[in-house]
Structure 1
Amino acid sequence: MKNNERRILVHLRGGLGNQLFQYATAYALAKNNDAELIIDNREYKKYKLHGGYRLNNFCIKGREISIKDKLLLPFFLSTLAWKYNFLARRYNFFVRSFRRYCIEKFGLPKKIESSVVLIGYWQHAEYFKDFYKDLVDIFTPTCLPEDGIKQYNKIKSVNSVCIHIRRGDYISNPSALKFHGVCSLDYYKKAVNYINKKIKDPVFFVFSDDREWCDINIPFIFSDKIKYNLVNKNDQETDLWLMSKCKHHIIANSTFSWWGAWLAQSSDQIVVAPEPWFDIDIGIKSPSLMSWTKFDK
């Protein structure tokens, strides 16, 4: 039985990768406090980028926000708390007056005694690493297409290496480009050469949101002797699941590919990640694990 007085309400923002970080952090906090987990997806009534709200396509535990919850926790207060999460140092006193709001800038509490609202992106495995096995099950798509199963069988039959190329709004949105930057061809060349020296007979599976770019540039990343496959025509959930079934990973500075690598953990896994993760320092640490190999992006 959950403690009726303890509720974790997580305010979701961003694309699928961000939603997974926010949910995983809330899930771990709820489990550690015997609390009810509530998903606040109100942001997605207006936010249509990256496919909108997507957690309902996984085996999620917890419930979506109710009408009663909405009355007790007005949307404008969560929006205001998000705003001051980015200005927390300047508005320290104001933010701390929102006692029921756990704002990322001030860290995550270990224990709670009543209802709280999580505000932040929470992009660090330390928040939920103890629940790895749970999250592997939870972040399994509820429906896998037949073609996805065929791709999975191919991935499992070889020494598979996932390579994720993230472009999309990192290119089309000037603000996103300035903040995130994109991984260069040189980054992918170095990562592929590194993997090729470390692993016997690797077969690369390329996942990307920009197939046209890949068709033009992929030949410059791989030599003629290297085997690779372009994976496409899947929904986001299927692609993430397939990425997590690869044995090794070359990721972009993307929360989506971060999850593909983290969910695939094994004793001999090699993960290559870009550095720096962000092009602008706003006080958010890179989510890359210490065990991952880093190359300049």
Structure 2
Amino acid sequence: MAQDRAPVCVRIWGGLGNQMFQYAAGHALAKRLGVELLVDPLELDLAHAAFGLNVFGLAPRIWQPDTTSLKARVLGALGRSSGKKRQKLWAGPRYVQKDFCHGDGFSGLGPGTYLSGYFQSEQFFADCRDDIRALFSLDHVAATLDPARLALADLPTSVCLHVRRGDYAANAKTTATHGLLGTEHYSRAAGLMARLVPEATWLVFSDDISAADDLTRDLPRRILIEGQSREQDLHLMSRCAHHVIANSSFSWWGAWLSRNPDRHVIAPRKWFARDELRRVYVDELFPAGWILL
């Protein structure tokens, strides 16, 4: 294959929200270059990190490296889990993102490039927003949802509030990196949203509904959303008119995919724990118009 037609490949890893950012960046680059997009899913020993793009009906071609070559044997890169070694088997140039949500040189990448990073900013796919919305459509999930919940989400005063716990709370190292948003943050965010959206109906989503119940029990017209799959949650979140998001890529996408052009989105300025924020650049994570608290 001629180099100017060589596909690009993006490493896919992390939770569903992370995978969406990575795929969106890869899709946008491949579209600009007029080449095919391959994906390299990295297997992780975390339930929430299973390859999830199939929930959107996406079936990208998986990159299969040549594991019989001398280079592969030297690297010991026969296992899919050894992502850093595997990407060295890519025949073309490799782009490894240096900053969490910033990508110097990304726009100048050419065909045949392997992408590795978080790519957590719409800057990477801003020129094909409509494409990304179509690719990540979950309209087919609506038929599986409780019609009463859909009706609530479709109210012009509906507010999606997301509480992220899971490994953020269960793993000390993860807690030290991401931190946990507590009562003070959600009280401030809910108070501001209540002024922006009087008579708000609150739809509360979480991977720890007990913790979310404790954090939001004083909200009027509050509905705890339980017993749904992650794609059902994401679709219902995106149907809401307004959003109070957690420091979570999953709820970032729930807000970004909302169809309400006049939506209010309140996001946490402290996307990471204090020490992590001192070294990680996050300014480009938040789209214009989102309110930071």
Aligned to 2:127: 130
| Cα deviations by residue, 1:111-142 (Å, 9 ceiling, x for unpaired) | 44431111111111100122221111211238
Give the whole-Å Cα distance in 1 for the aligned partners of 2:246 and 2:66: 37
For the structure 1 residues 276 and 290, does the alpha-carbon distance in structure 2 shift closer, same or farther, using more than 3 Å as the test?
farther
Unaligned stretches of 5+ in structure 1? 83-94
Contact kept? 1:3, 1:34, Cα under 8 Å? no
Contact kept? 2:161, 2:203, Cα under 8 Å? yes
Aligned to 2:10: 10
Contact kept? 1:8, 1:115, Cα under 8 Å? yes
For the structure 1 residues 275 and 180, does the alpha-carbon distance in structure 2 shift closer, same or farther, using more than 3 Å as the test?
same
Give the whole-Å Cα distance in 1 for the aligned partners of 2:190 and 2:162: 12
Give the whole-Å Cα distance in 2 for the aligned partners of 1:79 and 1:252: 29
Deviation of the 1:288 alpha carbon = 1.9
Task: Count matched residues.
Answer: 273
| TM-score for both structures, normalised by structure 1 | 0.82
For the structure 1 residues 48 and 260, does the alpha-carbon distance in structure 2 shift closer, same or farther, using more than 3 Å as the test?
same
- The AA in structure 2 aligned to 1:53 is F
1:232 aligns with 2:237: no
Aligned to 1:144: 141
Moved more, 236-245 or 282-291: 282-291
1:101 aligns with 2:102: no
Unaligned stretches of 5+ in structure 2? none
Give the whole-Å Cα distance in 2 for the aligned partners of 1:78 and 1:51: 14
Q: 1:219 aligns with which of 185, 206, 217?
A: 217
Aligned to 2:182: 184
For the structure 1 residues 70 and 254, does the alpha-carbon distance in structure 2 shift closer, same or farther, using more than 3 Å as the test?
farther
Give the whole-Å Cα distance in 2 for the aligned partners of 1:70 and 1:263: 39
Contact kept? 1:6, 1:34, Cα under 8 Å? no
Aligned to 1:197: 195
For the structure 1 residues 258 and 167, does the alpha-carbon distance in structure 2 shift closer, same or farther, using more than 3 Å as the test?
same
For the structure 1 residues 108 and 123, does the alpha-carbon distance in structure 2 shift closer, same or farther, using more than 3 Å as the test?
farther
| Cα deviations by residue, 1:46-86 (Å, 9 ceiling, x for unpaired) | 43331511111113263223x4666789694841488xxxx
Aligned to 1:91: none
| TM-score for both structures, normalised by structure 2 | 0.83
- The AA in structure 2 aligned to 1:243 is M
When the two chains are superposed, the root-mean-square deviation of aligned CA atoms in Å is: 2.8
Give the whole-Å Cα distance in 1 for the aligned partners of 2:31 and 2:110: 13
Contact kept? 2:3, 2:112, Cα under 8 Å? no
Contact kept? 2:201, 2:222, Cα under 8 Å? yes
